[in-house]
Amino acid sequence: MHQKTYKLIVAYDGSAYAGWQVQQGKPSIAETMNHTFKRVFKKDIKVLGASRTDAGVHALGQVVRVKTDLAISPEKLRWAWNNSLPEDIMIRSLEQEKDDFNPFCNVQQKVYYYHFFLERPSPFLQRYGYYHVYPTDINMLAKALQTFVGTHDFCSFRSSEDTRIDTIRTIDAIHLEHFKRYNVYRITVKGQKFLRHMIRRIVGVSLAIASRPGASLHMLPDVMKKCDPGHTLPNAPAKGLLLYKIMYTKGLKKNDQ
């Protein structure tokens, strides 16, 4: 029977998971979705996600591909699957796609949010943002973040486990805003692709610059030039990071990424 291809938009609270990717002996978003599908529909699948979010990272707009020969409408498929998933994973939308759809290809831009608090947050918010306890110069923070906009070698701002040779990346924009209602700050980062831990390290370094006595913006170019991911500047906690959405370029060939 011919397999149909579906595109899903998935939201999840990553607190209880070791990340998106299936990992031996550890709970993951992908494995949970695979096992739940098997339990409900008695068929094996392998979900393919556009972004391999790390342990503790959240998502509102993860893009996922699923292939199955299940004879069921997209509406019923989403309803039955959603009602069997744990409360911290939700399929926001599910629609049939062309057979050659690949969530890795033709990505135009990914948008991430990083949330942090400068005062102790409500217990109902704390798992979705980093409480930075040190006095912080917000103007300095905004300036620090802007130094990363554009095309740079982000070798120093990746995980030491990320062994990719090509570490050149382009950040299209970074915005900093404050939401008075929740007393939370949001850093929005936009770009086509990122290295592992790249956004968290950018946030961690920028917060350090803006809160440490004697720290200077001049430190950032020096850290970048050294191409040393082993530097001692902090990596912001995973729970503040949220994959907000992924946008695709239409009309490109699949090998044009």
CA distance 255 to 133: 46
Token duo for residue 164: 């990719």
Based on the residue annotation, tell me whether 54 is a catalytic residue of this protein.
yes
Is 51:232 a contact under the CB 8 Å cutoff? no
Q: How many residues does the chain have?
A: 257
Say if CB 62 and CB 50 are below 8 A apart. yes
Whose structure tokens read 């370094």?
205
Task: Compute the Cα dihedral for 248, 249, 255, 257 and give only its sign.
Answer: negative
Query: Which of 44, 54, 162, 228 does the annotation list as catalytic?
Result: 54
CA nearest 46: which of 68, 24, 26?
68
Alpha carbons 112 and 100: distance in angstroms, whole number: 26
Q: Would you give the DSSP letter of residue 157? A: G
Active-site positions read 54
